[in-house]
Chain A
Amino acid sequence: MKLLTHNMLTSHVKGVTKGYPLIIKATEVKVNELEFNSQFVSRMIPKLEWSALIQAAEWLGHSQDLPSTLIPDYENDEEFLRKVHRILLEVEVLEGCLQCPESGREFPISKGVPNMLLNEGE
């Protein structure tokens, strides 16, 4: 699971209103190398919940000194974009779980795939 994906994921347990972002508890993390595309990254940024991304990066120990709020004119800051590229697309959680911040319900991540299936009644 990449952090770009994690940024979209939320807890959908019944009754939960503050299920985002899911707390990452990773037991196995991998860093891949992916071709950097600055346009791709800079277009992605406005679609993100930035603070959730920063938090996720911290949980994985990959904060990389990313600012807690977006800097203006980030589209032209290649160093910044490269850091974002790394944290969004290159860092991957292979094993662990995602925990709902409100209910505590844990969704396992196994072989890179989060299992977000809920049981009946959840």
Chain B
Amino acid sequence: MDEAASQLERDHVHSVYEKIAPYFNDSRYKAWPKVKQFLLEQEPGSIVADVGCGNGKYLHINEDIFKLGCDVCRPLVDSAWSRGHEVQLCDGLRLPYRDGCFDAVLSIAVIHHMSTKERRIRAIKEMARTLRVGGRIMIYVWAMEQKRRKFEKQDIFIPWNPNPPLSSALRQRGNGTQSVSDDSASSDKHRKVRSTSSMVDEGDLISPGQQKQQRLWFFSRSLDSVLDFTSLTVSRSSSSTLQTPVDEASESRSRRTSSRGLIRQMSSLFSSSSRTSLEEDVFISDPNEQVHKNDNRSSGNGNETVPLELVHDCSSVPLPDLVSYQRDQSTLEGHVEVDGKSSQQEPLRRQESTASLLESDGMSGQSSEQLKDSCLRYYHVFREGELTQLIQNHVDELHVLHTYLDHANWCVVAEKVQVWKV
């Protein structure tokens, strides 16, 4: 399973970041204030590592400490280096640093890209290894619980859009550094704008009308499971406006669009739309019109659901099913999952709030090109307490000091402690 996990990460984390690296730019990727504060609190002469540093946005903070960054994505690392930072290319699971050499370590929005619990634990342990006793680590991961929206599952794919629009409200504030599409005024923007002095939660700027939007993201089954087959679900939670009315009792028939067709559709949905959110935002939302357009297109094929086989392509690697997990989820959410063993024949069922389709087993991944166009990134979003528990139960050498929710991220600050082995 570790091979499956690392393949998933290669396809849906590493290669995506390599692709989107040129589009990262600092104006839309500012430092989180609490992270900045953590760095500023370090004693002069400290050595701090930013593991998963991306383009190095934290590496300039605090001139009195020595910071080094590392990441697995070469273009991002090169970008950080060109800004004058000390950076290395490496893997978070095998850090090339000697034991106990850092006074502090940052892991900001990194381990949520790791596709199994075991790997997430390993990553934390690796960072703990490089921390000196008494040193502190700050870990940020995306939260499943959000202020205004809710992921229904923890393992998801989120598309990337390089051109998130500014909301009209933000434009009025003279923040228009980015090009905005003409009809963006009506579209939903979950874009967070950050400056060093204030944080603006995009949600506050959205009018109520805009809030009733389609939300679109893709679920994968967790890799942490016992069964072994290819299955992916795409779920759309909508408060309204699918063209075809859906109620709890209705079911749609099994759909088998080709993965190419699906991918094309999804690609066009996301690439043509300038409405999807900033990559740091947790949700993608589409304006009603966009979805209706999509539905118009797809209703031509008699297909009223968002085709899901695309995600087939996300896994040329089987994603094991977590049947019992799914059942728990389904009882919670009124969401019926299908046992993947007979995934090829399973009917699709659409509930009031979610539509899910199972990916068929037999298709081979031919459309990786189109897939990469949609740049789906894998995330395991964390429940409240999950990160803390992970550390408490599996990482003896770290002692959790603080846990808090910071703008849709769960954060833990922990201290390295001496572990006495008997």
Contact = CB atoms under 8 A, between A and B. Distances in A.
Interface centre among A2, A47, A118 (most CB of B within 10 A): A47
A9 B97 contact: yes
A104 to B, nearest CB: 16
A43 B89 contact: no
Nearest to B65: A40
Interface stretch (B80-88, B136-144, B152-160, B342-350): B80-88
Interface string B301-318: 000000000000000000
A12 B96 contact: yes
Interface string A38-60: 01101110010100000000000
Given A8-B68, A9-B96, A113 B45 contact: no
A20 B98 contact: yes
A96 to B, nearest CB: 14
B72 A5 contact: no
B161 to A, nearest CB: 28
A115 interface: yes
Given A9-B96, A39-B45, A47-B101, A116 B88 contact: yes
A4 B78 contact: no
B64 interface: yes
Contacts of B78: 111, 113
A9 B86 CA distance: 12
Nearest to B77: A113
B96 A112 contact: no
A57 B103 CA distance: 24
Contacts, number: 77
B176 interface: no
Interface of A: 1-2, 4-5, 7-12, 20, 37, 39-40, 42-44, 47, 49, 107, 111-118, 120
Interface in B1-23: 6
A10 B98 contact: yes
A45 to B, nearest CB: 9
B96 A1 contact: no
The 5 A-B residue pairs with the shortest CB-CB distance, nearest first, are: A43-B45, A116-B96, A116-B90, A115-B89, A10-B98
A43 B44 contact: yes
Contacts of A44: 45, 47, 66
Interface of B: 6, 43-47, 64, 66, 68, 70, 72, 77-78, 81, 86-91, 94-98, 101-103
Contacts of A111: 78, 81
A60 to B, nearest CB: 16
Nearest to A46: B45
Contact of A2 (B45, B86, B94, B98): B86
B89 A117 contact: yes
Scoring B43, B89, B96, B97 by chain A CB atoms within 10 A of each residue's CB, the highest score goes to: B96
A117 B72 contact: yes
Nearest to A2: B86
A8 B129 CA distance: 13
B89 A113 contact: yes
A12 B81 contact: no
A5 B94 contact: no
A98 to B, nearest CB: 9
Contacts of A1: 86, 88
Contact of B90 (A4, A20, A40, A117): A117
Nearest to B95: A12
